[in-house]
A = this chain, B = another copy of it.
Amino acid sequence: MRTDAQKNYEHLLAVAREVVTEQGAQASLRDVARKAGVGLGTLYRHFPTREALLEALLRSSFDALTERAAELEASSSPEEALVSWTQRCIACAHEYRGAISLMVSAIDDPRSALHGSCVAMKSAGARLLARAQAEGVARADLVSADLFALISALAWLNDQPSFAPRAEHLFDVVASAILSRRASTDGGKRRSPAPR
């Protein structure tokens, strides 16, 4: 990469970090280029999609997340590891408002620039979940996609200003569901109660 290109890349990333922090993942890319004092085409060549830009912004956090999963697996109890890592995931996804929606779309789209990060996150979670299930401290009927979904849902709740004040509490509620030993109190009957 030419040195002027390198400089543009880094400056764009720094400006994007500011703008996306302020306005969320749906921030105007035009605005980013403008504030970076760079042509719109320059931004598009360095980051061909919004997802590519977000991936660049989140990459280090995601790498740390995968690393952290391995550490926790070695150092903590299955329950502690799963809960603590889940919490970190949510904080990570919540780093930029609105990012979680793009991530959720990316999990099923291999062409998305965010696909790799999402799959890595799901896989790391799968290991911690399986370990907790083997010890009987997590619901047995959860698959890794469920964990990813619940983490996403909590991250989404955190993004909503009206729910943010109760975010920690809502985390505890969902965490307690993940950690239940049993699948449910009364099997599947609850879904269609007798009308009278």
Contact = CB atoms under 8 A, between A and B. Distances in A.
Given A107-B162, A108-B162, A162-B105, A150 B173 contact: yes
Interface in A145-196: 145-146, 149-150, 152-154, 156-157, 160-163, 166, 168-170, 172-180, 183-185, 188, 190-191, 193-196
| Number of copies of this kind of chain in the complex | 2
Interface stretch (A14-22, A37-45, A72-80): A72-80
A104 interface: yes
B161 A83 contact: no
Given A77-B193, A80-B193, A141-B169, A108 B161 contact: yes
B193 A76 contact: yes
Interface of A: 75-77, 79-81, 83-84, 87, 101, 104-105, 107-108, 139, 141-143, 145-146, 149-150, 152-154, 156-157, 160-163, 166, 168-170, 172-180, 183-185, 188, 190-191, 193-196
